[in-house]
Amino acid sequence: MRIMFMGTPEFAMENLRAIYESGEEIVGVVTAPDKPRGRGMVLTPSPVKAYALEKGLDVYQPITLRDGAFLEVLEKTQPELIVVVAYGKILPSYVLDFPKYACINAHASILPKYRGAAPIQRAIMDGDKKTGVSIMKMDIGLDTGDVILVEEVVIEPSDNFENVHDKLVVAGSKGLLRTIDQFKNNQIIYTPQGEEFTYAEKITKTDCVIDFSDTVQNVHNKIRGLSPIPLAFTKTPDGKLLKVTKAHISPNSFSGKDGEVVLLKDAIYVKCKDGVIAIDEVIPEGKGRMSAVAYINGRKIKEADILG
């Protein structure tokens, strides 16, 4: 089967790797244009482009797909199936309708829940016990197409964004390969999504602010859902930013105000609405990642301080 792959970040790159290593014919790889990164603002290729070039695959980086701008490449490569994973652009109808079989997308949620930009983070932040990857036939809407299959994964209480991301990479790769086989064997069954859906909005700076007046479970979910990127944060009494990379819920109870540092020991224990969150690892403003113990030993915080 002649497959065109469209994707940009690491999540997509790992799915491309799975398809390539399965021996499928990849007629082209489409990814976002190189972006300036680092202090020198050096133009840097996406993970998908870097992998594709390493394997000698043809790479295309269109600025736009609108008004038939990509039609010439489609006619040249003649894909029978287009696989899209976190590409970053809306596909116009002429692209969706071009391949013999379909344009399919691997979306990191159990659709119709968490359509949109940040499904992994939102699932963890909402305290979900499971998520998954939905392989769907793309249509003109945003993650609204008929579902072909779903690969589910468990979200453990200690999982953060990175852990769940890695589980979903494996699940997505497995699901895509199963779907490709189903197309080859004429076994595809499309299931329309239900009418009730939720939307996973893009993570903003406001989403990253820790509210210690919330329940301790919600605070913990936010911290792990945003770790290791972009990271939840609070502020110390002197106004300095304090990012939190790792925490756990303390089994011990303490009295105090919301946001109050109630104990400094092996962690920074902070009072929440109905419990105490124990902060294990932080990134202080202008510093690198460090354990809570190292931060405490630096005398940057004291008991009875109010965070937030």
The half-sphere exposure of 232 on its side-chain side, counting CA atoms within 13 A, is 28
Contact 134, 110 (CB under 8 A): yes
Tally of domains within the chain:
2
In tens, the pLDDT along 3-48 reads 999 999 999 999 999 999 999 999 999 999 998 887 778 889 999 9
Q: What is the mean pLDDT of the chain?
A: 96
Rounded to whole angstroms, the Cα distance separating 255 from 4 reads 59
Per-residue pLDDT band at 199 (split at 50, 70, 90): very high
Task: Tell me the CA distances in angstroms from 286 to 224, 240, 243, 283, 297, one per residue in order.
Answer: 22, 9, 11, 8, 17
AA letter at 232:
A
In tens, the pLDDT along 104-158 reads 999 999 999 999 999 999 999 999 999 999 999 999 998 999 999 999 999 999 9
Q: Using alpha carbons, select from 40, 77, 85, 80 the residue that is nearest to residue 60.
A: 77
Q: Is residue 306 in some structural domain? A: no
| Residue 12: predicted pLDDT | 94
Domain span including residue 293: 206-297
Per the structure block, which two tokens stand in for 113?
Answer: 């829940």
DSSP 53-105: HHTT--EE--S--GGGTTHHHHHHH--SEEEEES--SPPPHHHHTSSSSEEEE
The alpha carbons of the chain give a radius of gyration, in whole angstroms, of: 22
Of 200, 220, 249, the position where a domain reaches its end is 200
Of 200, 219, 237, the position where a domain reaches its end is 200
Q: Is residue 307 in some structural domain? A: no
Residue 88, pLDDT above cutoff 90: no
| Residue 161: predicted pLDDT | 98
Of 167, 200, 233, the position where a domain reaches its end is 200
| Residue 300: predicted pLDDT | 81
Rounded to whole angstroms, the Cα distance separating 18 from 262 reads 49
Q: Is residue 66 in some structural domain? A: yes
Rounded to whole angstroms, the Cα distance separating 237 from 38 reads 31
Q: Is residue 118 in some structural domain? A: yes
pTM of the predicted model as reported, rounded to 2 decimal places: 0.93
